[in-house]
Amino acid sequence: MGTRVVITGTGIPAPLDPRRAGPGVLLCAEGLALQFDAGRATTLRVASLGMACTDLTAVFLTHHHSDHLIGLDDIVMTRWFDDPGPGGTLPIICPEGPCVRFCQRMLDPWEDDLAVRQANELQPSRPTAAIGGFTPSPAPRVVWTSGPVSVQAVTVHHEPVVPSVAYRVSTPSGDVAISGDTRVCAEFARLAEGADIIVHEALSKDLLPDDPAWQPIIAYHADARQLGEMAGQLNTPVLVLTHLCPPPRTEEEEQLYADSVRRGGFKGELVVARDLDSVTLTASEPHVDRRQSRLASA
């Protein structure tokens, strides 16, 4: 069946567009379903694919910014509703530090709710997560494997948010590099070299107001033109832009993102993603599926 990459959320912390959930990427391959980050409404996007939270093999976190984590307890709780036994434990892979501490404490606010549910609904256990923390490194290293599928991680530059990591998933059908949040940087370029698909956050200076208040945001996100230059130098077949800052509201604004990437020198297939857009890797070539049109018209 190949490897399928679905963008579960393309938005930013501010819910400026209800069609854009919080950041997330779902990769399905070899019977596995790997969710990268868990932004706002991730459970709803998973459900819209005809999947349940119990179908997720593991969740991978890139860093501890709230917009990438705010849907995580929802996944864990929803998974528990569907499978309250020990099989419902959710594996979470993330860098040591703030992400691990967040995962350890994320269910604390639900203590009273869980006590009532367990007593009233006679649940045999409480929702749990198996937290797999790893030491992040500027050199790519394998942090998770299952059969022929492996995941590497590398630190990237989203300072002052430290650590922040990117991931590369290797499958029999091909490789996918997922940036998380970062400036365009050499560490990610090394991780993504030879990948069939790059999924990368992007910022458009053309759409941002001329306001000094935006400078801290610009400083730690990926300029679309620089991203096009990097992906062009890597000869990446498919580049998917997500976590779009600011979110484009029209096709004309989406084109501004595309134009910036092309000016940087990227000549491969480009997707300025909307929620539920997907790319499938097969033995022949990548196939882009613009499923988002159904969501936009709903």
Q: Which residues have a catalytic role annotated?
A: 67
**Closest to 280 in 3D by CA, of 222, 224, 238:** 238
Cα-based distances in Å from 44 to 8, 47, 78, 249, 293: 9, 5, 11, 21, 16
